[in-house]
């Protein structure tokens, strides 16, 4: 007989540390917005005109916001089981607790009966209150105003179904697990500080470029209005704690102040010091080790007012700079589907003609984070950007500082000397300018060369030619500080004949694949689309699982379920399919999966012998094939 002693220790899960913020979401209500305007007017001495300097205005806005809107607790909002408790239920539960405490102290029959009676009464009251609260909830969800609450409820239920929401422990560079808060914070700081301050090797430019010295116009109010209109509400705020909702709430007074402020920044070429600070939030890439820092992408939370300033500058730069037609990323009237469609058409032509097509998909290592600042200034000047705007953008990146916000708190602040700001409104266009200039001498016409930001595809009729083009691209990019990834760059041959060989990059074989996920859509070397159809079905099921907490709730109406399905699930299944010629069999495969999801959502099975047309009509979801083909 073996006897052993076990000691079980239960640790209470610590809450993630979240910085306290002003409850900006209250500004959605008109009464709160009006009260905020009145209190701000009082703080400014009875006038709506904002002070000229940023520091005074920012402090007055923050102070008024804290008084009127309140401040969050610094804890993550959780979906508690008692969210529907009203005051009567709370009072009854409190009386029951007191009766239980009284019975525990004096075990008499009278105290026992009193407690049991209160227990039965509270149980009835709780049941009635819960039913009433849920009836009101589902009634509200069935209205236009409650639709946002519906998607919020779906996201909450999806989070609750996952084991881990935030990782509190992380590994160091040697793979050892760090558990203490101090060591975890140090590791996050070490990783991002190294990432954002390390340049790749590059040649120093010896040639100069003439700067464009020209007078620039003052910032007009209509430019500010357009930038303000483009800014989305409900986005995470930067360190200054002034959301864009404040400026939208203040209306024309905000437009006048911002136009005056931006003109002073444009004239002095110096923005407020507060805008130089940011908060870096690591976002897991959903692949690889969740405890490895390298599997996270850092997104900067920056001042919303600075983003407004960036949008004004970006709008002016886009009028001056002409980006090549091969660039599809963040360009007006262009999207991922345009690039996917162009590549598929090219592949189909070569497959129909029984000829080989060689494609290399180039991946750049840490593209945004490793752009040398000197190269950025050079490319802007070479693109014809006025020197005034070059100096303004230089000022945006001068003395920029950030902290990392992780599950165990915030790290110490550190400087950022290399790369573009992730999460900036201006960065995508600046990156397009850099890629446009660096690839000027090596790119071919579209679709032989296509770029979507840092995703590059090079096509050619022969393996030797595509290998030569790849080497030219590598030389053009790496001599200026960008780096081609040897492990992620891949080669694919369409309609391959025997012994076609592979492609080499500086003597090293490039990985050869039969399929490649290009901008989210799978292209195959045989020109077929069977695997893409299966991926779209899987994407649909993934989307369905995320909102299954709502779709499988029998108290939510079929009309609302159909709307959630069309918004979340069907859009995931449709992505990129407009570029594919579907066969009837493949179309049926998608429709079968769709009907399974709809039947699950409505709580019926095939044994109920309900026709497919009735299922679609109940959920207000049309046939998938009709949606793909579009109107005749």
pLDDT at 209: 83
**Is the residue at 166 inside a domain?**
no
Last residue of a domain, one of 475, 490, 521: 521
Range of the structural domain that residue 133 is part of: 92-157
Q: Average pLDDT in the 217-243 region?
A: 93
Predicted confidence band of residue 15 (pLDDT cuts 50, 70, 90): low
For 17, 19, 197, 248, 423, the CA distances from 238, given in Å and listed in that order, are 16, 11, 21, 17, 11
Beta-carbon contacts of residue 116 (< 8 Å; ≥ 6 apart): none
pLDDT at 76 over 60: no
Residue 282 domain-assigned (yes or no): yes
The answer on 366 and 278 residing in a single domain is yes
Whether the CB-CB separation of 308 and 247 falls below 8 Å is answered with: yes
- Compare 48 and 310 and report the one with higher pLDDT: 310
Q: Final residue of a domain: which of 157, 182, 205?
A: 157
Of residues 55 and 10, more confidence is placed in 55
Strongest mean pLDDT among 115-124, 369-378, 493-502: 369-378
80-94, 99-113, 167-181, 556-570: segment of lowest average pLDDT: 80-94
- What SS3 state is found at 399? coil
DSSP helix/strand/coil, 558: helix
Asked if 508 and 545 sit in the same domain, the reply is: no
Do 466 and 583 lie in one domain? The reply is no
Do residue 147 and residue 293 come from a single domain?
no
In a domain, 568, yes or no: yes
Residue 188: the pLDDT is 95
Cα distances (Å, whole numbers) of residue 24 to 20, 28, 71, 280: 12, 8, 9, 20
Q: What is the pLDDT of residues 309-364, one digit of tens each?
A: 999 999 999 999 999 999 999 999 999 999 999 999 999 999 999 999 999 999 99
Predicted local distance difference test score (pLDDT) of residue 381: 95
pLDDT at 162 over 60: no
Q: Between β-strands 177-178 and 511-512, what pairing exists: parallel, antiparallel or unpaired?
A: unpaired
- Please indicate, yes or no, if residue 193 is contained in any of the structural domains: no
Strands 277-284 and 401-406, how do they pair?
parallel
| Model confidence at 620: pLDDT above 60 | yes
Average pLDDT taken over every residue of the chain: 87
What are the tens digits of pLDDT across the range 585-614?
Answer: 999 999 999 999 999 999 998 888 999 999
Same structural domain, 373 and 445: yes
- Given its phi and psi angles, is residue 254 left (phi above 0), alpha (psi -120 to 50 degrees) or beta? alpha
- Asked if the structure places residue 16 within a domain, the reply is no
pLDDT exceeding 70 applies to what percent of the chain?
89
Give the mean pLDDT of 19-39.
84
Residues 368 and 422 grouped into a single domain: yes
Average pLDDT rounded to a whole number, residues 562-583: 90
In this model, does residue 630 exceed pLDDT 80? Answer: no
Sign of the C-alpha dihedral, residues 152, 154, 157, 158?
negative
Q: Are residues 509 and 540 in the same domain?
A: no
Residue 153: which pLDDT band, with cuts at 50, 70 and 90? low
Select from 142, 157, 172 the last residue of a domain.
Answer: 157
Q: Where are the beta strands (DSSP E) in 114-183?
A: 170-171, 177-178
pTM of the complete model: 0.84
Q: What is the pLDDT of residue 359?
A: 96
Question: Does pLDDT of 10 surpass 50?
Answer: no
Q: How confident is the model at residue 78 (pLDDT cuts 50, 70, 90)?
A: very low
**Phi-psi category of residue 419: left, alpha or beta, with phi > 0 → left and psi -120 to 50 → alpha:** left
Pick the residue with more confidence: 476 or 165? 476
**Confidence tier at 83 by pLDDT (50, 70, 90):** low
pLDDT tens-digit profile of 489-547? 999 999 888 766 889 999 999 999 999 999 999 999 998 999 999 999 999 999 999 88
In a domain, 391, yes or no: yes
pLDDT at 539: 94
538 and 511 within one domain: no
On whether both 593 and 444 belong to a single domain, the answer is no
The domain total for the chain is 4
Res. 47: pLDDT tops 80 = no
Single out the residue of 309, 323, 326 nearest to residue 426, CA to CA. 309
The pLDDT assigned to 79 comes to 46
Residue 551 lies in a domain: yes
One domain for residues 99 and 48: no
pLDDT higher than 60, residue 17: no
Q: Choose from 29-43, 114-128, 399-413 the range with maximum mean pLDDT.
A: 399-413
Quick one: 272 and 384 in the same domain? Answer: yes
Return the percentage of the chain with pLDDT > 90, whole number. 56
Q: How far apart are CA 341 and CA 450, in angstroms?
A: 12
Q: What is the pLDDT of residue 6?
A: 54
In a domain, 81, yes or no: no
Q: What is the pLDDT of residues 406-460, one digit of tens each?
A: 988 899 999 999 999 988 999 999 999 999 999 999 999 999 999 999 999 999 9
Q: Are residues 543 and 440 in the same domain?
A: no
As a whole number, mean pLDDT of residues 116-121 equals 90
């Amino acid at each position: 007989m073996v006897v052993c002693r076990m000691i079980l220790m239960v640790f209470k899960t610590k809450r993630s540390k979240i910085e306290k913020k002003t409850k900006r979401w209250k500004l959605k209500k008109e009464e709160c917005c009006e009260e905020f305007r009145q209190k701000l007017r009082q703080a400014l001495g009875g006038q709506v005109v904002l002070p000229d300097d940023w520091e005074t205005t920012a402090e007055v806005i923050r102070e008024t916001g804290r008084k009127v809107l309140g401040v969050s607790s610094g804890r993550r909002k959780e979906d508690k089981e008692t969210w529907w408790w009203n005051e009567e239920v709370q009072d009854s539960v409190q009386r029951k607790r007191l009766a239980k405490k009284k019975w525990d102290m004096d075990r008499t029959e009278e105290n026992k009966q009193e407690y049991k009676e209160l227990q039965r009464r509270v149980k009835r009251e709780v049941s009635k209150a819960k039913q009433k609260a849920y009836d009101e909830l589902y009634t509200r969800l069935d209205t236009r105003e409650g639709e946002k609450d519906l998607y919020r409820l779906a996201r909450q239920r999806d989070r609750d179904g996952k084991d881990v929401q935030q990782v509190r422990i992380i590994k160091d560079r040697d793979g050892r697990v760090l558990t203490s808060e101090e060591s975890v914070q140090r590791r996050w700081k070490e990783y991002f500080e190294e990432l954002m301050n390390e340049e790749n090797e590059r040649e120093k430019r010896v040639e100069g470029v003439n700067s464009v010295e020209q007078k620039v116009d003052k910032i007009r109010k209509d430019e500010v209005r357009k930038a303000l209109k483009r800014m989305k509400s409900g986005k995470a705020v930067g360190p200054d704690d002034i959301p864009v909702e404040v400026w939208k709430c203040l209306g024309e007074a905000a437009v006048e102040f911002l136009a005056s402020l931006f003109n002073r920044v444009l004239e002095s070429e110096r923005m407020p010091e507060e805008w130089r600070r940011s908060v870096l939030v690591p976002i897991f890439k959903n692949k690889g080790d969740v405890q490895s820092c390298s599997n996270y992408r850092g997104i900067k939370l920056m001042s919303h007012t600075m983003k407004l300033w960036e949008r004004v500058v970006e709008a002016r730069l886009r009028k001056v700079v002409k980006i090549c037609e091969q660039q599809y990323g963040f360009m007006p009237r262009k999207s991922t589907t345009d690039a996917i469609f162009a590549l598929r058409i090219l592949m189909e032509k070569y497959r129909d003609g029984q000829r080989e097509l060689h494609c290399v998909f180039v991946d750049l290592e840490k593209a945004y984070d490793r752009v040398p600042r000197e190269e950025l200034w050079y490319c802007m000047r070479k693109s014809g950007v006025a020197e005034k705007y070059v100096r303004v953008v230089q000022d945006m990146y001068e003395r920029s500082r950030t902290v990392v916000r992780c599950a165990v708190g915030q790290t110490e602040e550190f400087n950022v000397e290399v790369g573009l700001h992730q999460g900036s409104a201006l960065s995508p266009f600046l990156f397009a300018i850099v890629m446009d200039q660096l690839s000027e001498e090596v790119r071919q016409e579209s679709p032989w060369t296509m770029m979507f930001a840092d995703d590059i595809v090079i096509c050619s009729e022969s393996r030797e030619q595509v290998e030569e083009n790849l080497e030219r691209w590598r030389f053009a990019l790496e001599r200026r500080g960008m780096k081609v990834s040897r492990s992620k760059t891949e080669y694919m041959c369409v309609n391959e004949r025997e012994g076609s060989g592979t492609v080499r990059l500086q003597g090293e074989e490039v990985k050869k694949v039969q399929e490649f996920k290009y901008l989210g859509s799978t292209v195959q070397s045989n020109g077929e689309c069977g695997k893409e159809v299966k991926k779209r079905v899987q994407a649909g099921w993934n989307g369905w699982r995320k909102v299954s907490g709502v779709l499988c709730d029998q108290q939510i109406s079929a009309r609302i379920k159909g709307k959630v399905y069309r918004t979340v699930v069907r859009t995931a299944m449709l992505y990129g399919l407009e570029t594919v010629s579907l066969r009837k069999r493949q179309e049926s495969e998608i429709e079968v999966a769709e009907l399974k999801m709809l039947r699950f959502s409505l709580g019926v099975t095939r044994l109920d012998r309900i026709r497919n047309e009735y299922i679609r009509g109940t959920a207000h979801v049309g046939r998938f094939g009709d949606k793909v083909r579009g109107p005749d």
